[in-house]
Chains A and B, each alone.
Chain A
Amino acid sequence: MTNSKWEIKLIENYLRKLPKIEDRQDKKKLFELIQKRLQHPQVKASKKKRNKFLPFVATAAVFFIISLIIPSFFSEKDMAIKEVGDKASMLITPEMKPNYKYFIDELDFEMSYQQLIETLGEPIDIINIEDENLIHTKGYFMTAVYDHYELLMYNSHFESEFTIEKSSVVQVDIVKPVDNDLTIKIGEEIKGEAELKRFPISSEEAKLIYDFSGIKAYHDLDVKDVYFLDGGYSPSGLPVVVAIFVDENQLVKRIIIGLATAG
């Protein structure tokens, strides 16, 4: 396996050779079924015997990858958990975006654990959320608490819109002493906010905190502003987002790190 370009051409050729598939259903019958369903919305699609359809890369697999990636993100210079006494700190700088993206670009979804380690270095920690009480699901989204961080995990492929609701998020305390130009600390004001994209919550539209690739995230949290940093996406196209919610006193209420799962 040496000639990479040639291999790519070969694969493209195989793809083009995938057979044309035609629907063999009778057009008239199909139309009748559709008409029936249009008139009687409760009529379900005609069910036929199904083959057992096998799963896509398991969500679990992504959790696995995420569990390797997240600690490594944090160990990066620009977005780090630092031990300051016994308190964890999180630092997000305006440079995070390009670095983050570059960083993620280094990864490939199919990498083995060993390859991941070689690329990222040893993870400082591995997330293993065993306590189900820490996982809250809402629709196709879930939040989990890792250490002091609230992770919002959602299924980017499957949901075009979702709402972060009070009932769906896990309250966590994040204590963050920070020592750089941009400080995000729960219970305190954001310093260096000019670098952040800001979504004031005064209108319906402002409830939208995330709009990317047709995926929209809204929130109904009791907060005044949402500052939002988007982090780029992982090799398999999974977006990673960081949203920061602020109340009317400009105090940070919560920080959410959003990661998509692959379903």
Chain B
Amino acid sequence: MKEDRLVDQEFERLYETYHQSLFQFLFYMVRNRQIAEELVQEVYIKVFHSYSSFKGDSSEKTWLYSVARHVGVDWIRSQNRKKRKLLGLIDISDIEIQSEERLPDEIILEKEEVQEVFQMLGKCSLDQQHVIILRYIETLTVSETANILGWSESKVKTTQHRAIKALKRLMGKLEGDLKVVGR
């Protein structure tokens, strides 16, 4: 079918141009390879379904990233919905217990500081995480990042700054903890 061939060609082009970047973005967003593999399919499905709605008022690249972000965020939301607990004051210590995370294999291979920064990144707010991933891992510009997140450039900058500050504090805290534990 003619349409199939078009999809085929389009897939080929998108894959060659953006696939690995989008995959990496998803990986760091959901912090898990298997899930990123599932979600990357979802990104293509969404893209093919809404290609006509791509208005060209943003670049194709940033549009694809924003689709990927939505897909990732939808997934995270679906996970959270399962876990959502609404009520009451929860002791901070309860929250810390929850944040144990099994590191992906590719991170375990890295130096300890890099592992730590990955771990602490997971403790930042989602907005902060997204900015960090887009800026430092995907090495996108402030303007591209703003476009993807639908923010102003100044919000990107402040969020980035706050994220780094948060990481700094979290890593400092970790060091403190390690000293106490004597590891």
Contact = CB atoms under 8 A, between A and B. Distances in A.
B88 interface: yes
B79 A157 contact: no
B8 A59 contact: no
Given A23-B37, A57-B125, A51 B102 contact: yes
A53 B98 CA distance: 11
A55 interface: yes
Contacts of A56: 76, 80, 122, 126
Given A50-B34, A52-B102, A57 B95 contact: yes
B99 interface: yes
A30 B40 CA distance: 9
A103 B159 CA distance: 17
A60 B85 contact: yes
B80 A12 contact: no
A17 B98 contact: no
B34 A48 contact: yes
B128 to A, nearest CB: 7
A15 B162 contact: no
A236 B85 contact: no
Nearest to A263: B80
Interface in B65-99: 70, 73-74, 76-77, 79-81, 83-90, 92, 94-95, 98-99
Nearest to B15: A27
A113 B89 CA distance: 12
Nearest to B166: A110
A58 B86 CA distance: 9
Interface stretch (A76-84, A128-136, A197-205): A128-136
Given A11-B167, A237-B155, 5 more contacts: A21-B28, A37-B41, A54-B101, A64-B92, A110-B166
Interface of A: 1, 4, 7-8, 11-12, 14-23, 25, 27, 30-31, 33-35, 37-38, 45-61, 63-64, 67, 108-110, 112-113, 126, 128-130, 132, 135, 137, 140, 142, 155-160, 213-214, 235-238, 262-263
The 3 closest A-B pairs by CB, nearest first: A214-B150, A236-B125, A158-B77
